[in-house]
């Protein structure tokens, strides 16, 4: 089996450490791990494959000439360093927002559009966490019924704000926490905040527009209309989404359930039995790589409309796992 030298940029962060964990779980053929981070983390150790690996600077990471680099270190770092890794012949999978809407870069969820990747793609964008779980649930429905419009409201975990979000909530609960700056302008414990990322001139937040624009790009369909309201909630297990989708064609609810039950929606699991109070929740999604779908029901207020409840661990399938899936696709089909 061919093996690969793999760099993880942001290796000591919340998502970066999860990327290393997922690489091990899927038995990715790593010949050498090159964990990279900021200067303050250089020299630290990370565990992978039964060994300890020393964290190096990004400059040393480029010099190591990895085959694949998976980035989760923020848009500024990606803007500066992803091209340097690419120039060294390394394929970059970037988890930041830097390249997602760049028309020269592919935005990839492998189960949906992995086939768009070619040998010429050196920097590949990993979509936003809330977008990934939604499009995985919608893709098989779009293929069969063709989506016209999506209205989505999210209930997003504090883990989406990294360690700052987690420790702000812990401090507010009186639990032991690191002394990090607050992630939010208001208390998050016993509260919900309808504000994720910065506000834009159109009144939406950047997170809401990410869901709109990224969905269209991933599906390659300008006809799909998306409107989103994204909300931070005091939860650590994952993101939840209430999704209302309008199709061009009518559907049979039993057929929709069968799509998710019978494995026709890659990466998705049906959890939908109201008689037993079975529905997706972050409590059950935590630590899992699947997208859980439930509360499937017809929206009687408009034709051809479906209501769904979609839950996933945002650090995994919403970030680390999808990035590793892209790397797996590259290893299997491109490199």
Report the CATH number at residue 184.
3.30.360.10
- For residue 283, with 0-12 CB atoms within 10 Å meaning exposed, 13-18 middle and 19 or more buried, which class applies? exposed
Query: For residues 150 and 245, is the Cβ–Cβ distance under 8 A?
Result: yes
Q: Are 13 and 75 members of one domain? A: yes
Q: Are 38 and 93 members of one domain? A: yes
Q: Are 284 and 258 members of one domain? A: yes
Q: Are 147 and 69 members of one domain? A: no
Taking the C-alpha atoms of residue 107 and residue 94, their distance in angstroms, rounded to an integer, is: 10
Q: Are 280 and 307 members of one domain? A: yes
Helix/strand/coil for 239: strand
Give the mean pLDDT of 317-331.
Answer: 97
Looking at residue 87, its pLDDT comes to 98
Note if the pTM is more than 0.85.
yes
Range of the domain at 226: 130-313
Q: Decide if pLDDT at 308 tops 90.
A: yes
Q: Are 110 and 250 members of one domain? A: no
Taking the C-alpha atoms of residue 294 and residue 260, their distance in angstroms, rounded to an integer, is: 9
Q: Decide if pLDDT at 334 tops 90.
A: yes
The single-letter DSSP state of residue 274 is G
Q: Are 95 and 194 members of one domain? A: no
Q: Are 115 and 169 members of one domain? A: no
Q: Decide if pLDDT at 206 tops 90.
A: yes
Q: What is the pLDDT of residues 138-172, one digit of tens each?
A: 999 999 999 999 999 999 999 999 999 999 999 99
Q: Are 159 and 61 members of one domain? A: no
Q: What is the pLDDT of residues 18-29, one digit of tens each?
A: 999 999 999 999
Number of domains in the chain: 2
Query: For residues 230 and 211, is the Cβ–Cβ distance under 8 A?
Result: yes
Query: For residues 64 and 56, is the Cβ–Cβ distance under 8 A?
Result: yes
Report the CATH number at residue 22.
3.40.50.720
Helices 129-145 and 206-219: angle between axes, nearest 10 degrees: 40
Residues that are catalytic:
129, 239
Taking the C-alpha atoms of residue 86 and residue 18, their distance in angstroms, rounded to an integer, is: 23
Q: Are 167 and 240 members of one domain? A: yes
Distances from the Cα of 88 to the Cα of 3, 42, 82, 209, angstroms:
18, 21, 10, 33
Give the number of other CB atoms < 10 A from CB of residue 105: 19
Q: Are 71 and 144 members of one domain? A: no
20: left (phi over 0), alpha (psi -120 to 50) or beta: alpha
Distances from the Cα of 142 to the Cα of 79, 243, 256, 291, angstroms:
33, 14, 11, 17
Q: Decide if pLDDT at 1 tops 90.
A: no
Q: What is the pLDDT of residues 226-263, one digit of tens each?
A: 999 999 999 998 999 999 999 999 999 999 999 999 99
Q: Are 137 and 123 members of one domain? A: no
């Amino acid at each position: 089996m061919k093996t690969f030298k793999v760099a993880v940029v942001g290796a000591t962060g919340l998502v970066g450490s999860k990327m290393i964990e997922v690489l091990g779980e899927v038995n990715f053929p790593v010949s050498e791990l090159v964990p990279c981070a900021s200067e303050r983390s250089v020299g630290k150790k990370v565990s992978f494959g039964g060994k300890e690996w020393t964290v190096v600077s990004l400059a040393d990471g480029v010099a190591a000439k990895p085959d694949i680099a998976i980035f989760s270190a923020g848009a500024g770092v990606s803007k500066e360093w992803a091209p340097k890794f690419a120039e060294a012949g390394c394929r970059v999978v970037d988890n930041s927002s830097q390249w997602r809407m760049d028309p020269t870069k592919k935005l990839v969820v492998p189960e949906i559009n992995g086939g768009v990747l070619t040998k010429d793609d050196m920097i590949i964008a990993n979509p936003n966490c809330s977008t990934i779980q939604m499009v995985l649930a919608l893709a098989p429905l779009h293929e069969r019924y063709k989506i016209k419009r999506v209205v989505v409201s999210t209930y997003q975990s504090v883990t989406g704000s990294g360690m700052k979000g987690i420790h702000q909530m812990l401090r507010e609960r009186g639990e032991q926490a690191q002394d990090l700056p607050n992630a939010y302008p208001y208390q998050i414990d016993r509260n919900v905040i309808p504000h994720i990322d910065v506000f834009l001139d159109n009144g939406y937040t950047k997170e809401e527009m990410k869901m709109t624009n990224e969905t269209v790009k991933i599906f390659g369909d300008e006809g799909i209309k998306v409107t989103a309201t994204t909300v931070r909630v005091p939860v650590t297990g994952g993101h939840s989404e209430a999704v209302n989708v309008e199709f061009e064609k009518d559907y049979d609810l039993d057929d929709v359930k069968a799509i998710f039950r019978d494995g026709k929606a890659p990466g998705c699991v049906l959890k939908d039995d109201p008689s037993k109070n079975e529905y997706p929740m972050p409590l059950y999604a935590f630590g899992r790589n699947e997208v859980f779908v439930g509360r499937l029901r017809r929206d009687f207020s408009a034709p051809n409309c479906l209501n769904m409840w979609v839950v996933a661990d945002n650090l995994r399938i919403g970030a680390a796992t999808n990035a590793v899936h892209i790397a797996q696709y590259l290893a299997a089909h491109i490199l």
